[in-house]
Amino acid sequence: MSHKTPQGGDSLPKIVLVGNSNVGKSSITTYLLKGVHSYVGKIGKHPGTTLKIRPLVMPQNYEIVDMPGLGYMASKGRGLTKHVWDIIIHYLEQNAKLVRMAFIVVSIENFRRNVEKWEVVQIPIDMEMTEFLRELGIPFKIIANKIDKIPLLAVKDNLAMIAEKMQVPPSDIFPVSAKLGKGLKEVKDFVGSFFK
39-78 confidence digits (pLDDT tens): 445 544 544 445 688 898 998 899 999 898 886 544 454 5
Res. 80 pLDDT band, cuts 50 70 90: low
Measured distance CA(106)–CA(115) in Å, rounded: 11
Element (H, E) at 54: strand 54-57
Is the distance from CB of 170 to CB of 162 less than 8 angstroms? no
**pLDDT (tens digit, 9 = 90+) per residue, 123-162?**
778 889 999 999 999 999 999 999 999 999 999 999 999 9
| Helices 152-166, 125-136: crossing angle, 10 deg rounding | 50
pTM of the predicted protein model: 0.86
Per-residue pLDDT for 165 more than 70? Answer: yes
Q: How many CA atoms, within 13 angstroms, populate the side-chain half-sphere of residue 132?
A: 20
**CATH 3.10.20.30 matches 13-192:** no
Computed over every residue of the chain, the mean pLDDT equals 84
